[in-house]
Structure 1
């Protein structure tokens, strides 16, 4: 069938290019919108990742620097800083700059950190977001101090914690020379909201940790006068959020003029471990006092007592008894699964008292326990410690023991507290466990 004469395109020939141009423009606009959507989605993903990053930190100094670095990354800022307000909220008490390279830091050596003048002060008095395209042209801008790198643009946002302005986040000089825009402002404002929560969590963690550490230290004794021995001890909490631990040390003088040194570690890192530690320490004190029992017998009695009266628990303990012996001192020890004591002689020689340890407390009270003997040289130092000093998941225990032996040997001729601090600071462990360290030095022969 022949086509009708009316079945042809009756649009004017010149209208087709216009329609194509309109369609191309629509496609361009749609492409721009999709690209903008992709950029917004990418920025939102970056914001969420940033919030997760800063929320995962608990140490306040780390949190503050992470906030600045994250904000710089989100908006492509060359420089960043966080100013923490004083208690009155009128001046900067702390200023944390990020982004300065080494030469810029050297040029600012000796220059006082800002306290909140000029544009920094404007954000203190008016905590609304602040965007400045040209810092030098702003009527409230203050002159940069000598050596300060030039900065053109500024984005400032207040950080609030519990409804109070904690500090201000400052970002300067967007990469590429562009000024900060409304999108930059919105994403930094969102980050500042999450930053306030992260700061509050870090502050709360710090308060809880400080209180827990104080509680832990209150459970530990003050060392008695162990004359003619010198003695020194320290307890250090874990670096991890496990706030309480079961490590302890103790020392006492018995009525028969012998000295007892004890170091132990209760399994666990919580309030129960700390309470059990205090219970075991007091039990051992009661068992040892007014008794001439050998260390193995004391640990066996402890094991049987805990089995009878306490909830199931496990602990490692090393107990040393020092008694006068032919003008010197005899050292008798027993170990319930504990790291061996280290002896450092006056000339720097080292020796671990590494006899085969017996099973930890709480495994089976029926297992036999053994004593070991050693004559302590004049002027020698005995170090007793928990595994939090030497244990590291990345290397064997022998490596940690070797490290503290080397440090102790190098400080053999120093005062006892100097030697003890050097060993504690060397701490070849990963810091994820608390530690107790007890150090005792025998007198020199007269």
Structure 2
């Protein structure tokens, strides 16, 4: 390099002797350091840098130069003669011709450092934005899954259980869900624990025990008390030792909280139509990030969704309880009759508010004759139940006040329903049982209803089938027929509605064959057990049948 090139170089250049003293310096090195070029000669390289730079020379520059013969982009600061500082990137290389000589080049690092800082800031900002986006996505996914779970839950208990499972799987380490005991109120003691769950299933019992004691032990300074008195969701992060000690009046509760693990927590109400129906607590332990304001907003949304679902399910449950009471009032127990065992069973459809149009009846006439009635109003729900109540009353009254045969009784019921403006269709079977000892004479008539079945004491079955006759309620005079059969002592007559045998995926003949096989398997069973067995065999133990089912069984017995 010529003298001109040396002095006009865009970087500061130095040549060092074996002792790391300057032997040559160009004009830019002189300008950056504030020393004349001649004054730089003989100065130790370390004297040109700040204290931190000198340390870097000892820990990085010298070892690298000895081991590798060169140093690349060592970030240090020049210490100017006037006390100024200038960041530079130092590069050095031992001379290939003279290992004792070292060539040093320094470039200004101010722009590069600013660029790298800006780049680092941009990267950190992008990483934080990505992390926040992932957190938001996780919250939205939690809310979507919770909504789906709530909409498909048939009961309050199953809803809160499923949501608790979603929470510990996706969002928190453990959770507690409380419901108001009766009427919505803000008193902490009115809450009852509905569900407690820990991400580690083995610790769920521990959380449940803690959760059971917590509401009654809550202190006036706790987040739960603040939630229920102000109505505002509570974010507690981080949870300090002082906060733990003030969480409950009983110190043992604080100890159990420490044992389960708490770092941050959120309390929010379960709201619906401006009423508080309960409270939700979500907790994160020592592992993972604490809850933040975004989590609090998600919890508030979740509390409203749970509250809406709980409100709807509680209303449905009250409707079902009312419907069950109505159904029980309409379906009175079968009357005891000397010489006859009679058993009645009713199983409502699960998805139709526990009430429907199926009915049974048992009427004793003054002449000793006994009438059995079973019917099914077309339709479901309260409308069908109301129509059923009217039609049942008509048939019941006619059965008791007249001596009409089953066919005559059905015809008169048709006329009475038409005259009273009852516009409904129904299937019905009426069976008359004559009094006496031993064999009993049966007279029956069928208005479009599934055929009765008889089971002998010996285990054979027979369908009491005849030419189909029209349903009740067609609005015109219908000629109906009486048919005759007989039952010996120990034989069984079974009347039932179509919910017992009709299946969407099964032929009706196969269903009737299955009923006959089931009855034959029940030969010899007491009548009460026979009724239960038939229902369990054909419908299963779970009360989720799609249609109402009524069943009436009769058996002549010897009288003493």
Band of TM-score, shorter chain: 0.7 to 0.9
Q: Deviations over 1:28-61 (max 9, x none)?
A: 7457536634652563354245335424545222
Aligned to 2:480: 369
Shift in CA distance, 204/150, structure 1 to aligned 2, threshold 3 Å: same
In the alignment, the residues of structure 1 paired with residue 436 and residue 490 of structure 2 have an alpha-carbon distance, to the nearest angstrom, of 15
Higher deviation after alignment, 180-189 or 396-405: 396-405
Aligned to 1:51: 147
In the alignment, the residues of structure 1 paired with residue 368 and residue 329 of structure 2 have an alpha-carbon distance, to the nearest angstrom, of 27
1:337 touches 1:357 (CA, 8 Å); kept in 2? yes
Cα deviation, residue 168, structure 1: 3.4
1:97 aligns with 2:207: no
1:439 aligns with 2:553: yes
2:439 touches 2:488 (CA, 8 Å); kept in 1? yes
Shift in CA distance, 357/198, structure 1 to aligned 2, threshold 3 Å: same
Aligned to 2:497: 386
SS across alignment from 1:438: strand
In the alignment, the residues of structure 2 paired with residue 112 and residue 351 of structure 1 have an alpha-carbon distance, to the nearest angstrom, of 62
Cα deviation, residue 400, structure 1: 5.0
1:125 aligns with 2:222: no
Q: Deviations over 1:312-331 (max 9, x none)?
A: 32111111111146732012
Aligned to 1:220: 331
Shift in CA distance, 256/91, structure 1 to aligned 2, threshold 3 Å: closer
Aligned to 1:191: 302
Cα deviation, residue 379, structure 1: 1.7
In the alignment, the residues of structure 2 paired with residue 102 and residue 410 of structure 1 have an alpha-carbon distance, to the nearest angstrom, of 44
Shift in CA distance, 102/256, structure 1 to aligned 2, threshold 3 Å: farther
1:157 aligns with 2:256: no
| Aligned 1:266-285 pairs, distance under 5 A | 266-285=377-396
Cα deviation, residue 62, structure 1: 2.0
1:335 touches 1:357 (CA, 8 Å); kept in 2? yes
Cα deviation, residue 302, structure 1: 2.4
Aligned to 1:4: none
1:157 touches 1:170 (CA, 8 Å); kept in 2? yes
1:69 touches 1:80 (CA, 8 Å); kept in 2? no
In the alignment, the residues of structure 2 paired with residue 143 and residue 443 of structure 1 have an alpha-carbon distance, to the nearest angstrom, of 68
Q: Deviations over 1:260-308 (max 9, x none)?
A: 1011111122433222212211221233334443322322332344344
2:266 touches 2:291 (CA, 8 Å); kept in 1? no
Shift in CA distance, 168/281, structure 1 to aligned 2, threshold 3 Å: same
Q: What's the TM-score once normalised by structure 2's chain length?
A: 0.64
Aligned to 2:213: 115
Aligned to 2:412: 301
SS across alignment from 2:177: strand
Alignment match of 1:259 (pick from 370, 373, 381): 370
In the alignment, the residues of structure 1 paired with residue 552 and residue 241 of structure 2 have an alpha-carbon distance, to the nearest angstrom, of 61
Aligned to 1:240: 351
Shift in CA distance, 161/354, structure 1 to aligned 2, threshold 3 Å: farther
Shift in CA distance, 27/171, structure 1 to aligned 2, threshold 3 Å: closer
SS across alignment from 1:238: coil
Cα deviation, residue 365, structure 1: 3.9
1:70 aligns with 2:166: yes
In the alignment, the residues of structure 1 paired with residue 275 and residue 409 of structure 2 have an alpha-carbon distance, to the nearest angstrom, of 57
In the alignment, the residues of structure 2 paired with residue 143 and residue 398 of structure 1 have an alpha-carbon distance, to the nearest angstrom, of 67
Higher deviation after alignment, 247-256 or 436-445: 436-445
SS across alignment from 1:330: strand
Aligned residues: 430
Q: Deviations over 1:136-193 (max 9, x none)?
A: 9933544559xxx955556342434566654433445579744444433331222012
1:40 aligns with 2:150: no
In the alignment, the residues of structure 2 paired with residue 95 and residue 374 of structure 1 have an alpha-carbon distance, to the nearest angstrom, of 56
In the alignment, the residues of structure 2 paired with residue 378 and residue 305 of structure 1 have an alpha-carbon distance, to the nearest angstrom, of 36
RMSD of aligned Cα (Å) = 4.1
2:339 touches 2:559 (CA, 8 Å); kept in 1? no
1:153 touches 1:172 (CA, 8 Å); kept in 2? yes
In the alignment, the residues of structure 1 paired with residue 276 and residue 330 of structure 2 have an alpha-carbon distance, to the nearest angstrom, of 38
Shift in CA distance, 256/69, structure 1 to aligned 2, threshold 3 Å: same
SS across alignment from 1:388: helix
Aligned to 1:83: 178
In the alignment, the residues of structure 2 paired with residue 46 and residue 96 of structure 1 have an alpha-carbon distance, to the nearest angstrom, of 18
Bigger RCO (CA 8 Å, 6+ sep): 1
Gaps of 5+ in 1: 1-11
In the alignment, the residues of structure 1 paired with residue 335 and residue 437 of structure 2 have an alpha-carbon distance, to the nearest angstrom, of 25
SS across alignment from 2:328: helix
Higher deviation after alignment, 298-307 or 403-412: 403-412
